[in-house]
Amino acid sequence: MQFFLSSLHPGINGSGMQHKFDRIDRLPPYVFSEVNEMKASARAAEIDVIDFGMGNPDTPSPKHVVEKLIETVSDPRTHRYSSSRGIKGLRKAVVNYYGRRFGVDLDVEREVIVTLGSKEGLANLASAISAPGDVILVPNPSYPIHPYGFVIAGAKVCPVRVGDTVDLIAEIKRAALSVSPSPRALVLNFPNNPTGSVVDVDFYSEIVDFAKSIGMYILSDIAYAEIYFEGPPPPSILQVPGAMDIAVEFSSVSKTYSMPGWRVGFGAGNRELVGALARIKSYLDYGAFTPVQVAASAALNGPQECIGTIRHRYRERRDTLIESFTASGWEIPAPRATMFVWAPVPKLFSDIGSLEFSKILLEEAQVAVSPGIGFGNFGEGYVRIALVENRQRIRQAARNIKQFLSRY
């Protein structure tokens, strides 16, 4: 009976004592859960919710990629264990991508690794390189895995404010020079989720010089590098001379090729960091299913017109949303990149916070968004709108919002 009770309630032992799970206790309450529960209840009541909450691409994966998956999965030899570093064909495809897109040369054996999406790579590298007491500089607001991968590993996260009105280089330097011990690593994410902010090579160059001067690693996340609308294509930090000495960069096929459920990403850059990630992964996984890796290779090596099609679709949705929401009475700036719109909470609701506004918007307008506070304290006062509904649904959301705002 004691074993039975313990298995039913893993936090309670046979004597009724409560166990402590230290890594779980480090995590804050999941802010998005309240909105998610409300969405689930609304759908159970057959209410039509226009859902801009999760950044989950809704368009099909490229046809030639799906065909390659079907072809490869038919070979029973591909059903065996794969490699935790990733198959060489996919690592070569990453090398080719960096060469043609960024003009960066990579060593396929020592400077590239395949991951189960960029999220897994970031989380496992956080575990590999940090220890309790280490200080990590992380953007705020930020995609949650950026800070919490390190929080789970026991490191101390120091937030660095991000935004179009913020001098980010000055903020990074101020934070780095004001903490003790000196920061172990800095996380960067551009184009940024959730704000849509972008940077240029000169920004990276100055940050690399500074990081080298204080012995700080840089972990760069460029998952949205191909989803841009104005200006030149977003750069890679690895374009900076000497960046390979201290930087590793993560991306994936999720957003670029509309393949989020395939869970394939990659890391590239500093050999020491790539090696550390490879070593820890060797204890944790056997890599992605081989047919999925082969298909991801086909995405990177094959026709690239699909990227332009996907980018154009997001641009159309962005423009439709900005135009229609502004006409409804909610003025929102247009992002230069990513599949997200970072929208200030309307002034009428600025005193209640982003979470309460998100809940009211869902309840009264049947429109779901992500509260900015879920991305960090500096995200308060904003909501993130994912461009994952078609233009007709976006216009319907605008009509709902207009009616909603007219009641206040």
Where do the H-state alpha helices sit in 302-344?
305-328
Residues of the chain with CATH 3.40.640.10: 77-301
List, for residues 95-133, the tens digit of each pLDDT value: 999 999 999 999 999 999 999 988 899 999 999 999 999
Predicted local distance difference test score (pLDDT) of residue 116:
92
**Residue 167's pLDDT band (cuts 50, 70, 90):** very high
The CA distances from residue 236 to 68, 173, 318, in Å, are 28, 21, 24
* 257: nearest Cα among 292, 286, 281, 289: 292
Q: Decide: 253 and 306 in contact? Cβ < 8 Å.
A: no
- pLDDT more than 90, % of the chain: 81
Predicted local distance difference test score (pLDDT) of residue 373:
94
Residues of the chain with CATH 3.90.1150.10: 28-60+306-406
List, for residues 188-209, the tens digit of each pLDDT value: 999 999 999 999 999 999 999 9
- Which amino acid does the sequence have at 345? V
Predicted local distance difference test score (pLDDT) of residue 30:
74
User: CA angle at residue 160 from 122 to 174, to 5 degrees?
Assistant: 125
List, for residues 271-292, the tens digit of each pLDDT value: 999 999 999 999 999 889 999 9
List, for residues 234-271, the tens digit of each pLDDT value: 999 999 999 999 999 999 999 999 999 999 999 999 99
* 317: nearest Cα among 302, 298, 338, 299: 338
Residue 10 has pLDDT above 80, yes or no: no
CATH of 77-301 given 3.40.462.10, 3.40.640.10, 3.90.1150.10, 3.90.280.10: 3.40.640.10
Q: What topology is assigned to 28-60+306-406 in CATH?
A: Aspartate Aminotransferase, domain 1 (3.90.1150)
Q: Does a cis peptide bond (omega within 30 degrees of 0) precede residue 191? A: yes
Residues with Cβ within 8 Å of 308's Cβ and at least 6 positions away in sequence, in order, are none
Beta strand extents in 260-304 (DSSP E only): 265-269
Residue 9 has pLDDT above 50, yes or no: no
Backbone angles phi, psi at 383, to 5 degrees: -130, 150
191: tokens are 């184009």
List, for residues 297-348, the tens digit of each pLDDT value: 999 999 999 999 999 999 999 999 999 999 999 999 999 999 999 999 999 9
The CA distances from residue 260 to 120, 223, 256, in Å, are 13, 11, 9
